[in-house]
């Protein structure tokens, strides 16, 4: 399956960073942050904890309000997916997961090292 990427702005605990959102070929990119269309921007932003431990990918749907995209956490080498932490205080260990974007949502994707010394 072909892949495409787009830059998205993510706000993390350590500040502002730009990550690559990797999307399956054929998935709609939606409007990138700062882009036009109903105020522009994505309705979902994500950060990775710890930094460099993995990525979140858009499996299906768009990142626009009203859509229900499916997102998946992909760990980097030496890490495993742990859980999603939502801005309303909830957590969830499902992966991948469908998220209904009724408002702008921020999520932290948590990964754990495979081996703890």
How many angstroms separate the CA atoms of 113 and 117, rounded?
10
* pLDDT tens by residue, 88-99: 889 999 999 999
Please give the residue that has the higher pLDDT: either 24 or 54.
54
Single pTM value for the model: 0.65
* Confidence label for 116 from pLDDT (cuts 50, 70 and 90): confident
* pLDDT tens by residue, 28-78: 333 233 222 334 568 999 999 999 999 999 999 999 999 999 999 999 999
How many angstroms separate the CA atoms of 47 and 68, rounded?
19
Six token digits for residue 14: 């350590």
Note whether 42 and 63 are within 8 A (CB): yes
* Confidence label for 20 from pLDDT (cuts 50, 70 and 90): very low
């Amino acid at each position: 399956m072909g892949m495409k990427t787009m830059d998205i702005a993510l706000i993390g605990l350590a500040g502002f960073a730009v990550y690559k959102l990797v999307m399956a070929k054929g998935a709609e990119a939606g409007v990138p942050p700062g882009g036009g269309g109903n105020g522009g921007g994505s309705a979902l932003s994500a950060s990775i904890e710890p930094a460099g431990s993995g990525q979140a990918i858009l499996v299906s749907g768009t990142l626009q309000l009203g859509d229900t995209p499916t997102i998946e956490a992909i760990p980097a080498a030496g890490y495993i997916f742990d859980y999603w932490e939502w801005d309303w205080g909830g957590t969830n260990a499902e992966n991948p997961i469908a998220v209904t974007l009724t408002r702008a949502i921020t999520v932290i994707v948590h990964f754990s090292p495979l081996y703890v010394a």
